[in-house]
Amino acid sequence: MGKGRDMSLYAVVDPATGDVVQEYPTATDEQMEQALSAAVKAHREWGRTSTLAERAALMKQVARLHTERREELAKIIQREMGKPLDQALGEVDFSAAIYEYYADNAEKFLADEPIDLLGGEGSALIRRSSVGLLIGIMPWNYPYYQVARFAGPNLTLGNTIILKHAPQCPESAAAIQQILTDAGYPEGAYVNVYATNEQIAKAIADPRVQGVSLTGSERAGAAVAEVAGRNLKKVVLELGGSDPFIVLSTDDLDATVEAAIAGRMENTGQACNAAKRFIVAQGIYDEFVDKFTRKVLETADGLAPLSSVAAAERLDEQVKLAVDNGATLVSEGQRKGAYFPPGVLTNVSPDSPSYKEELFGPVATVYKVASEEEAVELANDTPFGLGSYVFTTDKEQAKRVADRIEAGMVYVNLVGADSAELPFGGVKRSGFGRELGRFGIDEFVNKKLIRTG
């Protein structure tokens, strides 16, 4: 949304034109209370009493409806945040796969876990069960996928959800609510709210709420964690990333450059786990920079807008500051509204603010290193620790570097390999907790010990 717009006002603003397509009324305090009451009631009457098989069947329906409505759903997020249609369709399909994954695997993940006793008679086991009402706070960059990561495991577990989506994603938020309603979930199992930040802070503090999950900025994560901590609520945070893409050796530089482009330009560069800092061995640095820069500039043709004019203005400020501090920028054209020209930064000084920041858009930073040791040191010299990428022809080197990188995820010799079964999350200022895979259903759960004599 452009500067001057009230960020608590929910509206679809077409990033390509800046036109306000539709505005949505913010929730009243009475509606927030109704949402809380309905979600607590749904947990008591449905979450606690339904069988896992029944909840898995509902989740199957959610997956099916995403697939059935994929074209309509994709066009919504193209309007809301500018995602290219092919990528929007891919996001809907990935979301359906996540719901399907939890429906298919919940019985295995939630099975009783026997404990071998060290002494004494009888038996002991861990039984996993829901904890109650959760709040989800989701961002604009992957409107369906982000919700699926949270709602898929937790609704399957029997937790109920109040979901606050990004202010620029009210239409996709409503579409998700409609899918869950049409799938057969009872009233209150999942409640979409167009809430203000103040209303959400008050809800997190409410004793009826058992936990909160946020994907978003460091600032938003800190604010939510502060309220949650003060009120003793469990939190999962997935925040920013400045993921390193380390190239130590390659037997196919063109393929490595293509992987680098894919890793940086997915979603017009607006992904928390996108490759953002390219750390290249000096022996191949010059050739890599040459090929990579040409490919980056080629992406300008048909490049989608960023999510908003404000997002483009923020990136513009960061890039200009880097250049003012001595960096070299290769780019063509100027920013026009939310459209941002792709570019490559080199010679970024460690003293520049840009060195430590996340650049959210189609701009890559490239560094030259003289050794494996220097590559690892530079990769870890960031406040963030979300994802990372290592390209090398040396298998032993790949293992060493992967072990030493301070990140929640390391991908070796590949990009774009995210999948429903692979845990997602980070360390340091990228947050804590995990989503997806087995660990995604193990966050907001009562791991109850039952010891029988």
Domain boundaries, the chain: 10-240+429-452, 243-383+387-420
* pLDDT for res 4: 34
Mean pLDDT of 140-162: 98
For residue range 198-237, list pLDDT tens digits in order.
999 999 999 999 999 999 999 999 999 999 999 999 999 9
Fold of 243-383+387-420: Aldehyde Dehydrogenase; Chain A, domain 2 (3.40.309)
Rounded to whole angstroms, the Cα distance separating 113 from 115 reads: 7
For residue range 38-66, list pLDDT tens digits in order.
999 999 999 999 999 999 999 999 999 99
Mean pLDDT of 74-88: 96
Residue 269 structure tokens: 């560069």
Rounded to whole angstroms, the Cα distance separating 350 from 371 reads: 18
For residue range 379-388, list pLDDT tens digits in order.
999 999 999 9
Rounded to whole angstroms, the Cα distance separating 318 from 335 reads: 13
- Residue 7 confidence class, pLDDT cut points 50, 70, 90: very low
* Contacts for 219-226: CB closer than 8 Å, 24+ residues apart: 220/137, 221/431, 223/197, 224/137, 224/200
CA atoms within 13 A on the CB side of 72: 12
The architecture that CATH gives domain 10-240+429-452 is 3-Layer(aba) Sandwich (3.40)
| DSSP characters over 232-299 | T-EEEEE----EEEEES--S-HHHHHHHHHHHHHGGGG--TTSEEEEEEEHHHHHHHHHHHHHHHHHT
Task: State the CB neighbour count (10 A cutoff) for residue 364.
Answer: 25
* pLDDT for res 239: 96
Mean pLDDT of 245-253: 98
Collapsed DSSP state (helix, strand, coil) of residue 30: helix
Best CA proximity match to 224, nearest among 281, 139, 113? 139
Which residues are marked as active site? 238, 272
Looking at the DSSP assignment, which residues form a beta bridge with residue 235? 212
**The whole model's pTM is what?**
0.95
Rounded to whole angstroms, the Cα distance separating 356 from 16 reads: 30
Same fold, 10-240+429-452 and 243-383+387-420: no
